[in-house]
Amino acid sequence: MSAVGETGSSGFTARYIVDIRGLWTVFKTPAAEFVVHKDLDLAIERGEVVSLVGGSGTGKTTLLRQILGLETPAKGTINILGQPVAKLGETGAASRVGMLFQQGALFSAFNVLENIAFPLRELKMLPDDLIRDVALVKLQMVGLGAEHAYKMPADLSGGMVKRVALARALVMDPPLLLLDEPTAGLDPESADGFVSLLRSLHQELQLTVVMVTHDLDTLYELSTRVAVLAEQRVIVSGPPKDVIAFTHPFVHEFFLGERGQRAMELLREYPFAV
């Protein structure tokens, strides 16, 4: 199934949080050109949790970077929240989109609280106590106690870094959240905790989530939709069980290989995902 059916209607901006049409991503080196995406279409509706999967080098992270406006499309259009992606980076971007980077990307010169409060403090108009309260609430919402507020990023464990980074991404309650390998590098227990945290935040804050993941457990537990990238485009997108039924060597290998069979058990246990 492909979510991109309706074209040209003026109403699509209200409907889709992320709307990518005919996207080409080309990396140029003096010697050669690499086409990463070719006529890629992807539309994501409000409230969806979309997982991008694909073999290595199929441009999953590049697609995330395109959605964030960190790369420039060679051709095609990307609209985020009904606006061209180029406008996303203007002042107050933190209230439109939040991004959880793979390594957290916390500012190592700031403590935890300053990291979370950074987008608010940079506006230079809000009172300090309000900023501090908002940041403390977000810190506790991601499951960390207020006693961690003055720690430096270097003193945090991997799981805590991800949680602080998530709190920073959510500090201005953006409607769209992007996750790059949210559970990579976490031990299974912290990964499970992080996934249930993401699930509860998604429900409470009515977030739209786009994530790149290789972790099938995370994928089954969170996604309402899976988009498979291969052959420079989205070859199939739909609920996990529809995608599994799709015939393609990568899909077969990824979902129905030995690793996939193990994780499939989850699909039966958690009706939430399907």
Write out the residues near other proteins by the rule CB under 8 A. 92, 95-96, 108-109, 113, 120, 123, 125-126, 129-130, 132-134, 136-138, 140-141, 146-147, 149-150, 152-154, 171-174, 204-205
Q: In Å, what is the CA distance from 194 to each residue of 10, 100, 218, 267, 268?
A: 38, 12, 9, 18, 21
Measured from the CB of residue 152, what is the shortest distance to other proteins in angstroms? 8
CB distance 67 to 16 below 8 Å: no
Q: Would you say 97 and 87 are in contact if contact means Cβ atoms under 8 Å apart?
A: no
Nearer to other proteins, 102 or 232 (CB): 102
* 138 versus 225: smaller Cβ distance to other proteins: 138
CA distances from 243 to 75, 207, 212, 229, 239 (A): 28, 23, 16, 12, 6
CB 175 to other proteins: min, Å: 9
Residues 7 and 82: their CA atoms lie apart, in Å, by 14
**Containing H/E element for 35?**
strand 33-45
Residue 3: CB minimum distance to other proteins, A: 25
Residue written as token pair 């406006």: 69
Cβ of residue 221: shortest distance to other proteins, in angstroms?
Answer: 23
What is the total residue count of the chain?
Answer: 274
Q: Which residues pair with 28 in a beta bridge?
A: 33
1 vs 146 by CB, closer to other proteins: 146
Question: In the complex with other proteins, which residue's Cβ is closer, 33 or 147?
Answer: 147
Nearest residue (CB) to other proteins, 86 versus 123: 123
Q: Which CB atom, from 37 or from 202, has the smaller least distance to other proteins?
A: 202
At closest approach, how far in Å is the CB of 140 from other proteins? 4
What does 116-143 look like in DSSP terms, one character per residue? HHHHHHTTS-S-HHHHHHHHHHHHHHTT
**In sequence order, what E strands does 231-266 have?**
233-238
Q: Environment class of residue 179 by beta-carbon count within 10 Å: exposed (0-12), middle (13-18) or buried (19+)?
A: buried
Minimum CB–partner distance for residue 200 and other proteins (Å): 11
Q: Among residues 136 and 197, whose Cβ is nearest to other proteins?
A: 136
Please identify which residue in the block is written with the tokens 């709307």: 19
CB of 174 to other proteins, least distance (A): 8
Amino acid letter, residue 97 = V
